[in-house]
Amino acid sequence: MNHDNRRDILADSIDRHVGARLRERRLDMHKTQSVMARLLGVSFEQVQMYEAGQSHLSAPALFILARALDVSPDYFYAGYVPSDAEFQDAIVGEGLDEAFARVQAPRSRRQMVVLVRSLGERQA
């Protein structure tokens, strides 16, 4: 899995959490998706996508929504904890990518690949 894929998995997880929190608060405040859409200058379908975690909300959009829903922007992230797999893929994997990139000798790189593959086979 490459660096971008790991980041995407974590971002998708965060987007789903933020979207669920947005929907929960919007319903608690008895506001419609159309009202939220007008505030952001987007369609109500786009708000549906935000709430479903299918589209990423920008920082300015989160700020506007937080003010409209009478919460602080961090409300949308409250309770978010990445799964072990998401954390491992996003954080630990990134460290491995960076460490491997610093190894310049082709022979050492091949040895590292053999080592990692053998460790993976032992885990299976």
Domain ranges of the chain: 3-77, 84-123
pLDDT of residue 1: 46
Q: Pick from 14, 15, 67: which is nearest to 39 by CA?
A: 67
Domain 3-77, CATH number (from 3.40.50.1860, 3.30.930.10, 3.40.640.10, 1.10.260.40): 1.10.260.40
pLDDT of residue 92: 59
pLDDT of residue 93: 61
Q: Pick from 10, 2, 4: which is nearest to 81 by CA?
A: 10
pLDDT of residue 99: 77
| Positions of the chain with pLDDT lower than 70, given as ranges | 1-7, 83-97, 123-124
- Please give the C-alpha separations between residue 53 and each of 10, 19, 102, 111, 120, in angstroms, as whole numbers: 12, 5, 36, 41, 32
